[in-house]
């Protein structure tokens, strides 16, 4: 994009205010740390705002959404408390081009489940597993400058079978001390939008403080950002009578002929 990517970091923000153990790790809230990581990695290429569940309209008013290029989403305890109306607006805007970065337990958010069409269930264990995040597609933009492996000393285990559609692009696969594996970095194209799901990030562990995780989130924001902006309205094509693209035929034909004529003048043997 030719202008800074406008990111809205959405966070449930319940655990940090309710659980002492989480507050100790994220006293300013997970969203503050995520936002800081994006700014640290992307500098002037990004501007960040925050929104949380308890704000009016969950902080996702029409005004905020229309000024959002990429939305990141972390939720866990209160998926059911996100209003269906806001969910519908978010889903609609993703289909129109807004990028979506889905984090950890947000695999079970209404927004992600609606866009995936599957149950999005997985195996899990809140133990003392170390997670190793391995790159399986080093050519992918989201793998840029990411160490191999990413070592997360303590994390909640997420294990296969992860009931999602096969990712359009699989970037990372994780292992856990207990032996389980998980497709932890998954890219999806949906409508005019792009979605990146990244699994590390349980609230009990300081995962979003991990510099490499910040790098991945930044890469994810850049990859999901809509280069050509977001459509003004949903994709809903009209009946296409014969001749419906005649204007393109004429316009493009003229452009090509013009360029060819210019070449004839410019051509040197």
Residue 92 exposed, middle or buried by CB count within 10 Å (0-12, 13-18, 19+): middle
Q: Which of 198, 199, 202 is nearest to 140 (CA)?
A: 198
Residue selected from 68, 109, 174, 203 as contacting a copy of itself according to rule CB under 8 A? 174
Interaction pattern, residues 225-254, with a copy of itself; x per rule: CB under 8 A: -xxx-----xxxx-xxxx--x--xx--xx-
Minimum CB distance to a copy of itself, residue 80 (Å): 16
Task: Using only the alpha carbons of the chain, give its radius of gyration.
Answer: 21
Residue selected from 14, 150, 217, 221 as contacting a copy of itself according to rule CB under 8 A? 150
Interface with a copy of itself, residue 115, by CB under 8 A: yes
Interface with a copy of itself, residue 180, by CB under 8 A: yes
Minimum CB distance to a copy of itself, residue 182 (Å): 9
Q: How far apart are CA 128 and CA 192, in angstroms?
A: 40
User: What DSSP state is assigned to residue 171?
Assistant: E
Minimum CB distance to a copy of itself, residue 60 (Å): 19
The answer to whether the CB of 137 falls within 8 A of the CB of 170 is yes
Interface with a copy of itself, residue 141, by CB under 8 A: yes
Q: What is the SS3 assignment for 205?
A: coil
Interface with a copy of itself, residue 11, by CB under 8 A: no
Q: Is the dihedral of CA 80, 160, 181, 194 positive or negative?
A: negative
Interface with a copy of itself, residue 260, by CB under 8 A: yes
């Amino acid at each position: 994009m030719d202008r800074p990517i406008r990111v809205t970091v959405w966070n449930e923000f319940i655990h940090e205010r309710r659980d002492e153990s989480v507050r100790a790790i994220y006293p300013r809230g997970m969203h503050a740390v995520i936002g800081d990581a994006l700014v640290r990695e992307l500098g002037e290429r990004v501007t960040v705002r925050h929104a949380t569940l308890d704000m009016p309209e969950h902080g996702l008013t029409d005004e905020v959404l229309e000024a959002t290029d990429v939305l990141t989403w972390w939720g866990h305890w209160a998926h059911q408390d996100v209003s269906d109306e806001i969910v519908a607006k978010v889903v609609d805007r993703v289909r129109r081009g807004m990028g979506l970065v889905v984090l950890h337990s947000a695999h079970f958010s209404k927004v992600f489940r609606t866009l995936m069409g599957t149950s999005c269930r997985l195996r899990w264990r809140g133990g003392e597993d170390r997670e190793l995040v391995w790159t399986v597609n080093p050519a992918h933009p989201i793998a840029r400058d990411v160490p191999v492996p990413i070592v997360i000393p303590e994390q909640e285990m997420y294990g296969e079978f992860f009931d999602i559609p096969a990712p359009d692009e699989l970037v990372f696969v994780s292992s856990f001390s207990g032996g389980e594996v998980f497709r932890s970095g998954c890219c999806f194209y949906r409508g005019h939008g792009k979605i990146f799901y990244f699994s590390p990030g349980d609230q009990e562990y300081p995962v979003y403080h991990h510099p490499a995780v910040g790098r991945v989130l930044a890469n994810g924001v850049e990859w999901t950002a809509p280069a050509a902006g977001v459509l003004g309205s949903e994709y809903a094509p009209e009946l296409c009578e014969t001749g419906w693209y005649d204007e393109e035929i004429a316009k493009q034909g003229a452009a090509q002929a013009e360029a060819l004529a210019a070449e004839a003048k410019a051509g040197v043997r």
